[in-house]
Amino acid sequence: MPGIGFGTSPLVGREAATAVRTALDAGYRLIDTAENYRNEDAVGQAIRDSGIDRGEIFVTTKFNRRWHSVDGVRQACEASLDRLGMDYLDLLLVHWPNPDQDRYVDALRGLDELLQAGTVRAVGTSNFKPAHLRRVQDETGIVPDVNQIQLSPYTTRSASRAHDAEHGIVTESWSPLGAGSGELRRDPVIAEIASRHGKSPAQTILRWHTQLGLVPIPRSGNAERIAENLAIFDFTLNDADMAAISALDKGEDAATDSDVFGH
């Protein structure tokens, strides 16, 4: 799994295809989509048009709550593969736990069957809290390969990161640059560190993610920003930089509550 990926929400249609093609041309090899983004067809087309061998690209997608059953996950996977125009997925995720309907454990059972069949190369969860993951493991013994969660210097999710690390789960960061308002990128702490390293605020934030061992998936429709977000491996934040950035955390309440929200 590449150390940084390209997120595709909320891009759709031609805009999504163009952005994915731009990202691939820039060097991204992890592309993240979902049933709910309604752009799997555009993502698949962009990958085919790129001329890059399918085996070189790590494709992730996710399914919604209606498919939370063993057979439902199979149906969701088949539908995503059809929209993408592919015959396997590198990673398939449960998009939200939706504990109100109480079927996410069965969703993981369905994922495990696809993994054993070879239809997917890895399985995971999105927006699962440690309590959700512990229940899955207690009832099935299944430990996902990846847990994709909202994570940025304003929402550092220390409990989730600790749980994932303890169980060998890769933590992937969605909205790694913070909310769409750009508040995090304008933060004076980020600005000072970025200036000192001769990097942009976005590059500085993404480097913080990778040095923590996280896999960020920034999203952009702008070609310059797409390339900029990938150029983060030629500098290193020192311990004081890392601590200062982590100290910006606003707590768990700043993240979307997956016990309440989901689709």
Active site residue 154: no
Query: What digits encode the pLDDT tens for the residues 23-57?
Result: 999 999 999 999 999 999 999 999 999 999 999 99
Secondary structure of the chain in HEC code, one letter for each residue: CCCCCEECCCCCHHHHHHHHHHHHHHCCCEEECCHHHCCHHHHHHHHHHHCCCHHHCEEEEEECHHHCCHHHHHHHHHHHHHHHCCCCECEEEECCCCCCCCCHHHHHHHHHHHHHHCCECCEEEECCCHHHHHHHHHHHCCCCCEEEEECECCECCHHHHHHHHHCCCEEEEECCCCCCCCCHHHCHHHHHHHHHHCCCHHHHHHHHHHHCCCEECCECCCHHHHHHHHCCCCCCCCHHHHHHHHCCCCCHHHCCCCCCCCC
* Alpha-carbon distances of 248 from 156, 157, 183, 187, 197, rounded to whole Å: 9, 12, 12, 9, 19
* pLDDT at position 247: 98
- The pair phi, psi for residue 251, each rounded to 5°, is 95, 170
Residue 261 lies in a domain: no
Residue 1 lies in a domain: no
Closest listed residue to residue 97, CA positions, set 129, 139, 61, 59: 129
* pLDDT at position 87: 97
Percent over 70 (pLDDT), the chain: 100
Catalytic residue among 28, 37, 104, 154: 37
Residue 103 lies in a domain: yes
Residue 178 lies in a domain: yes
pLDDT higher than threshold 90 for residue 240? yes
Determine the Cα–Cα distance for residues 172 and 240; give it in Å rounded to an integer. 23
* pLDDT at position 62: 98
Residue 237 lies in a domain: yes
Domain that holds residue 28: 6-249
Q: How confident is the model at residue 179 (pLDDT cuts 50, 70, 90)?
A: confident
pLDDT higher than threshold 90 for residue 61? yes
Per-residue pLDDT, averaged over 133-141, amounts to 98
Question: Cα dihedral angle (40, 44, 49, 54), rounded to 10 degrees?
Answer: 150
Residue 174 lies in a domain: yes
- Neighbouring-strand partners of residue 59: 31
Determine the Cα–Cα distance for residues 19 and 248; give it in Å rounded to an integer. 31
Residue 243 lies in a domain: yes
pLDDT higher than threshold 80 for residue 161? yes
Percent over 90 (pLDDT), the chain: 98
pLDDT higher than threshold 80 for residue 180? no
Per-residue pLDDT, averaged over 186-210, amounts to 98
CB-based contact 98:104 (threshold 8 Å): yes
* pLDDT at position 181: 75
**Weakest-pLDDT range from 74-83, 178-187, 189-198:** 178-187
Residue 164 lies in a domain: yes
* Alpha-carbon distances of 42 from 13, 84, 94, 247, rounded to whole Å: 6, 8, 21, 39
CB-based contact 205:245 (threshold 8 Å): yes
Mean pLDDT of the chain: 97
How many domains, the chain? Answer: 1
Query: What digits encode the pLDDT tens for the residues 77-136?
Result: 999 999 999 999 999 999 999 999 999 999 999 999 999 999 999 999 999 999 999 999
Any idea what the CATH number is for the domain that residue 64 is in? Answer: 3.20.20.100
pLDDT higher than threshold 80 for residue 215? yes
